[in-house]
Amino acid sequence: MKNLLLTAAIIALSTACQSDKNSEQTTSPTGVHTAVVEEVLQTNQYTYLHVKEGNAEPWLALPKMQAATGETYYYIGGLLMTDFASKELNRTFKEILFLDNISTNPNITAPSQQHTSSTPGTSAENNANQTPSVAHTVVAEEVVQTSQYTYIRAKEGNQEFWLAASKMEVGIGTTYYFNGGLPMTKFESKELKRTFDEILFLDNISTSPSAIEKSSSAAAQNNPVASTGSSINIEKKEIKIKHAKDDITIAALLENKKTYAGKIIKMKGEVTKFSPGIMKKNWIHLQDGTDFSGKFDLTITTDQEVKIGDNITIEGVITLDKDFGFGYFYEVIMEDAKLKK
């Protein structure tokens, strides 16, 4: 269950809970919400955004990301929670929408529905050249129903963990499939009068693996990204790094990844995203202005801290096909990296 502390796939709002359909902008594709950030609250693992959509001003919650007031974001769906208490903020939100897919690009995909009470979103980032597959197969061990939500104690291999979805019928012993999800720690359900140490919020869940694959495929085709695993789409930036002749660039690494597998290498680039304190690691997204077959981003784990916009030189071991579970899969990742002068 420790894998759930990785930030990371997609949660969607029950169509019955979409309170302001008029907030969808005519300039955006059907079903896509346009939100302008009014206020940003940061915690150790999550970002809370107070946004304006037409006449509505909802709160959104996501895995930690960089956001600023005045920025415009686009999203589909989300899972609406009422009377949600954030212990870290010492604040209770009357209503808050949980997301793990938000983008500055309005062309965000609305996948097909998986069960009647929800409109699923994408799970984790998938490269456009990959064929998404079902990441997780679980068996329902216990089911707890509330007025709006279904809590499932699920078993996957030797792991047991809790899932939360929009209210649905679930049978004990039934097998379900899902990708992605938004992990929360110390989540308190006031209706159940119970605190879950760790729970994964999702609504992209089905008894049909083909339905999950179809949903992920549709999202991947419309949202090409550099690497899998992060909850927020990474966009390519105009970055110019002065490389020495023998430098290993991101393009060179991705083109010759098998050559570098298991080796310690040094790279230069600009930090485009930084997520601290997840699974006792800090997570860096690095770009250096180069790309290979449309891939331009490298994910790095470290125990050191950086800031978005920093130009850094960093050294670490290259690992291929790293699967952290719950839809967070990396073709190439640099692990246990250290900053170099």
134 or 243, greater pLDDT: 243
Give me the percent of the chain exceeding a pLDDT of 90: 37
Residue 299 phi, psi dihedral angles, 5° rounding: -90, 140
Give me the percent of the chain exceeding a pLDDT of 70: 72
**Res. 63: pLDDT tops 50:** yes
Average pLDDT, the chain: 76
- 51 and 118 Cβ atoms separated by less than 8 Å: no
Tokens of 180: 């992605």
**Average of pLDDT values for 113-123?**
29
Q: 149-153, 208-212, 217-221 — which is least confidently predicted?
A: 217-221
The pLDDT value given to residue 159: 87
Place of tokens 């079902």: 134
The pLDDT value given to residue 224: 35
Summarize pLDDT for 219-234 with one digit per residue, the tens.
444 333 333 333 445 6
Tokens of 271: 């930090």
Summarize pLDDT for 268-325 with one digit per residue, the tens.
999 988 877 676 788 899 999 999 998 999 999 999 999 989 999 999 999 998 876 5
pLDDT grade for 212, boundaries at 50, 70 and 90: low
pLDDT grade for 210, boundaries at 50, 70 and 90: confident
Q: What span, in angstroms and rounded, lies between the C-alpha atoms of 314 and 137?
A: 37
Summarize pLDDT for 25-52 with one digit per residue, the tens.
334 555 688 999 999 999 887 889 999 9
Q: 86-90, 189-193, 279-283 — which is least confidently predicted?
A: 279-283
- 151 and 189 Cβ atoms separated by less than 8 Å: yes
Q: What span, in angstroms and rounded, lies between the C-alpha atoms of 32 and 189?
A: 29
**Res. 119: pLDDT tops 50:** no
What is the pTM for the complete model shown? 0.49
**Res. 116: pLDDT tops 50:** no
The pLDDT value given to residue 17: 34
**Res. 126: pLDDT tops 70:** no
